[in-house]
């Protein structure tokens, strides 16, 4: 119970740029427990996305290790779903198909077509987008796209949901409304039967400009 | 929003009352803004009147808009008509001055006779223009089909694997600028027959744009899409069919369009050299018969067929190009 879901130990990330090595992260330590909500706060360019990409497994650290459920993170995996900053829906698929793509991959082997469809419909309903399931991403608004992105991530029933400023590109009104909605969604996830051990508490983690982790506030 | 959770906790309390009012404003406004510039409503109206205008837009449909549509149509049609008239004028002038080039009138008369029976057949060397065009198209189709079957997979490999692209880059850069007609003798040597040799030149000239455009398309697939694929854990096969292929399709279609364009250019020249049946050969034959008006007709026919091919492929490309925003 008390073992962290994700454990980040002495992680550093350096990028090779034209003007030499650039250290984006140095000595990051962070534990994320089951059911916890952690937010990374910092100036633009301080390395938030970099750390998130590391947890997602999209990039590998230069130094240190990242563990998920005790194992080193070798690469991306469906147990660590990502909601991308720019929604990243595939434009040639309808909203339904976009969500289905992930669902199929995670549950396709065990479950029948109808059950998969029910999962997608449920995820779309959760973000109040069931009315747009047949629409293509270019036919819906930016906020709606983000909601589909959240539905796609949620429908995969990940152990951890990584969100990189999912509302960053939106106007203040939409953002407030979506944050509200997401709050509701997180709540509803917490009461689902197999996740009733979830206890989501906000806990945030501050980092200074040099990319050095400060003590969690 | 970096402080997501923090905001989330605060959000309900803070955001609840706020959205109600401003949202109404945000949806109401565009109607007002939208209405005026589109219909070009004359000045004197007050903003409130303008706001009411949108429904009237349909009602007005009888008088103003129809005039507008005529004017739009005229704008589209009149300049090309001028262009065509200019061309005919210059052509007629040149014909009168030179004496041995047939003018539009003579050519038109010859064309009427020619197209009265485009599909006659008097032995292998004397066939209607329809057969000639069709057999040229057949060669283009076959050569092009082979080029697509080999070039598109090659393009995927070159785009996906740096090693492959480095390996083939020098070969392609070396061979691409070579006129496909230079390959004709090789084709004649290998196939021992004129017909496959002409098809072979089409294959050669079609394959480069196909490979290069497909490879470029693969390289330009947004990293975001590939990240999505990685996070979802899609298999390589699924990445191919669900992500790469749709993302590359528009580029591929561009390659196809360029290939068909050059193929249609090259086939005329190739057939002049190989003989047989085909529009290129027909041009050469009519030159030997000194039927210059037929050559002029052939130029138009070749142009029109090329235009039709291009238009069809553009339509196809439009059909399969996803909306990216
Ligand atoms: N691939 C890369 N190559 C070189 N430098 C990089 C690369 N990715 C990120 N950086 C650098 O690392 C630092 C951290 O980038 P990161 O994207 O993590 O910032 P961020 O905290 O997410 O900022 P923002 O709030 O603006 O999104 C930046 O200074 C950036 O220039
Ligand atoms: Mg970022």
Q: Which residue of B has its CA nearest to A102?
A: B232
> Which ligand has an atom closest to residue A163 CA?
2
Q: Which two tokens stand for residue A154?
A: 């949620």
- Write down the pLDDT at residue B49: 39
The rounded distance, in Å, linking the Cα atoms of B283 and B133 is 11
pLDDT tens per residue, range B29-85: 333 333 333 333 344 343 443 443 444 444 444 556 677 888 888 888 889 999 999
Q: Model ipTM?
A: 0.77
β pairing state of A160-163 and A80-83: parallel
Domain boundaries, chain B: 67-101, 128-324
pLDDT tens per residue, range B119-145: 777 777 777 888 889 999 999 999 999
Secondary structure class of B59 (helix, strand, coil): helix
Write out the residues surrounding ion ligand 2, Cβ under 5 A: A 49
- Cβ atoms within 10 Å, residue B44: 6
Secondary structure class of A161 (helix, strand, coil): strand
Is 50 exceeded by the pLDDT of residue B304?
A: yes
With bands split at pLDDT 50, 70 and 90, how would you rate the model's confidence at B323?
Answer: low
pTM, two decimals, is 0.69
Half-sphere exposure of B47 (CA within 13 A, CB side): 4
User: Tell me, what DSSP letter sits at residue B202?
Assistant: H
Q: Which two tokens stand for residue A74?
A: 């070798």
* Ligand 1 pocket test target in A16, A17, A47, A59 with most atoms within 8 Å of CB: A47
B14 touches chain A (CB under 8 A): yes
pLDDT tens per residue, range A63-118: 999 998 888 989 898 888 888 877 789 999 999 999 999 999 889 888 899 999 99
pLDDT tens per residue, range B174-223: 999 999 899 999 999 999 988 899 999 999 999 999 999 999 999 999 88
With bands split at pLDDT 50, 70 and 90, how would you rate the model's confidence at B150?
Answer: very high
Q: Which two tokens stand for residue B251?
A: 């580029």
- Write down the pLDDT at residue A206: 38
Phi, psi of B225 (to 5 degrees): -65, -40
What DSSP letter does each residue of A174-189 carry, written as one string? HHHHHHHHHHHHHHHH
- Write down the pLDDT at residue A165: 78
Please report, for residues B125, B260, B278, B295, the alpha-carbon distance to residue B281 in angstroms, rounded to integers and kept in the order given.
Answer: 10, 19, 5, 11
Q: Closest Cα to residue B118, out of B107, B110, B130?
A: B130
Q: Which two tokens stand for residue B154?
A: 């090659």
- Write down the pLDDT at residue B58: 43
Cβ-contact A147, A170 below 8 angstroms? no
Q: Smallest Cβ distance to A101: which of B3, B14, B232?
A: B232
- Write down the pLDDT at residue A185: 64
The rounded distance, in Å, linking the Cα atoms of A182 and A175 is 10
Q: Which of residues 111-130 of B touch A (CB under 8 A)?
A: none
Q: Smallest Cβ distance to B8: which of A90, A168, A179?
A: A179
pLDDT tens per residue, range B91-116: 999 988 887 888 888 888 888 888 88
The rounded distance, in Å, linking the Cα atoms of B144 and B149 is 9
User: Closest Cα to atom 30, ligand 1: which residue?
Assistant: A45
Please report, for residues A88, B31, B232, B250, the alpha-carbon distance to residue B324 in angstroms, rounded to integers and kept in the order given.
Answer: 11, 26, 21, 11
Q: What is the CATH number of domain B128-324?
A: 1.10.3720.10
Tell me which chain B residues have a C-beta less than 8 angstroms from the C-beta of A182: 8
Residues with C-beta less than 6 Å from any ligand 1 atom? A 15, 17, 22, 24, 42, 44-50; B 2
* Interchain contact, B8 vs A37, CB within 8 Å: yes
- Write down the pLDDT at residue B63: 53
- Write down the pLDDT at residue B18: 37
β pairing state of A71-72 and A63-68: antiparallel
User: Closest Cα to atom 22, ligand 1: which residue?
Assistant: A49
Longest dimension (CA), chain B: 91
- Digitized pLDDT (tens) for each residue of chain A, 217 residues in all: 567 888 999 999 999 988 889 998 989 898 888 877 788 888 888 888 889 899 999 999 999 999 988 889 898 988 888 888 777 899 999 999 999 999 998 898 888 999 999 999 999 988 888 899 999 999 998 888 888 998 898 898 888 888 887 777 677 777 777 777 777 666 544 333 222 233 333 333 333 333 333 333 2
The rounded distance, in Å, linking the Cα atoms of B203 and B197 is 10
Is 90 exceeded by the pLDDT of residue B308?
A: yes
What residues are paired with A6 via a beta bridge?
A: A32, A68
Cβ-contact B245, B219 below 8 angstroms? no
Longest dimension (CA), chain A: 54
The alpha-carbon gap from B215 to the nearest alpha carbon of chain A, in Å, equals 20
What DSSP letter does each residue of A71-131 carry, written as one string? EE--S--TTEEEE-TT----TTS-HHHHHHHHHHHHHTTTS-HHHHHHHHHHHHHHTT-GG
Q: Which residue of A has its CA nearest to B1?
A: A165
What residues are paired with A81 via a beta bridge?
A: A161
Q: Which two tokens stand for residue B44?
A: 């004197």
pLDDT tens per residue, range B2-36: 333 333 333 333 333 333 333 333 333 333 333 33
């Amino acid at each position: 119970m008390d073992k962290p879901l994700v454990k980040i130990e002495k992680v550093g990330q350096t990028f090779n740029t034209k003007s030499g090595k650039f250290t984006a992260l140095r000595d990051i330590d962070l534990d994320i427990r089951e059911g916890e909500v952690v937010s990374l706060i910092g100036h633009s360019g301080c390395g938030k996305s970099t750390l998130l990409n590391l947890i997602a497994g999209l990039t590998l650290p230069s130094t240190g290790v990242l563990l998920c459920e005790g194992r080193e993170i070798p690469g991306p995996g469906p147990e660590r779903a990502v909601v991308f900053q720019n929604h990243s829906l595939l434009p040639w698929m309808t909203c339904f198909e976009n969500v289905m793509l992930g669902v199929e991959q995670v549950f396709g082997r065990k479950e029948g077509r109808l059950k998969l469809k029910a999962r997608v419909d449920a995820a779309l309903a959760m973000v109040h987008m069931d009315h747009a399931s047949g629409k293509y991403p270019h036919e819906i608004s930016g906020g709606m796209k983000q909601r589909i992105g959240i539905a796609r991530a949620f429908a995969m029933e990940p152990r951890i949901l990584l969100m990189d400023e999912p509302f960053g590109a939106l106007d203040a009104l939409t953002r407030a409304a979506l944050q509200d909605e997401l709050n509701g969604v997180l709540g509803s996830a917490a009461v689902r039967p197999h996740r009733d051990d979830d206890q989501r508490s906000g806990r945030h983690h501050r980092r200074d400009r040099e990319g050095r982790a400060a003590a969690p506030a | 929003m970096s402080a997501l959770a923090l905001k989330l906790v605060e959000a309900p309390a803070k955001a609840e009352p706020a959205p109600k009012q401003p949202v109404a404003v945000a949806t109401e406004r565009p109607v007002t803004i939208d209405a005026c510039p589109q219909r070009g409503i004359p000045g004197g109206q007050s903003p409130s009147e303008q706001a009411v205008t949108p429904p009237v837009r349909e009602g007005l449909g009888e008088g103003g808009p129809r005039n507008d549509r005529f004017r739009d149509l005229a704008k589209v049609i009149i300049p090309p008509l001028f262009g065509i008239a200019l061309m005919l004028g210059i052509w007629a002038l040149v014909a009168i001055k030179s004496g041995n080039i047939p003018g539009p009138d003579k050519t038109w008369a010859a064309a009427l006779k020619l197209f009265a029976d485009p599909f006659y057949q008097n032995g292998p060397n004397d066939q209607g223009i329809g057969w000639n065009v069709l057999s040229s198209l057949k060669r283009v189709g076959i050569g092009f089909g082979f080029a697509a079957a080999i070039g598109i997979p090659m393009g995927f490999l070159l785009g996906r694997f740096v090693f492959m692209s480095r390996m083939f880059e020098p070969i392609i850069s070396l061979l691409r600028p070579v006129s496909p007609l230079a390959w004709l003798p090789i084709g004649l040597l290998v196939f021992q027959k004129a017909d496959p040799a002409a098809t072979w030149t089409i294959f050669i000239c079609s394959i480069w744009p196909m490979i290069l455009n497909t490879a470029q398309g693969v390289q330009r697939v947004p990293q975001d899409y590939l990240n999505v694929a990685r996070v979802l854990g899609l298999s390589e096969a699924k990445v191919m069919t669900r992500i790469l292929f749709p993302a590359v399709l528009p580029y591929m279609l561009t390659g196809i369009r360029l290939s068909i364009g050059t193929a249609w250019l090259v086939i005329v020249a190739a057939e002049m050299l190989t003989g047989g049946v085909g529009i290129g050969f027909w041009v050469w034959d009519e030159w030997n018969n000194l039927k210059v008006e037929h050559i002029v007709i052939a130029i138009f026919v070749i142009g029109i067929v090329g235009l039709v091919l291009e238009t069809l492929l553009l339509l196809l490309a439009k059909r399969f190009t996803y909306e990216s925003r």
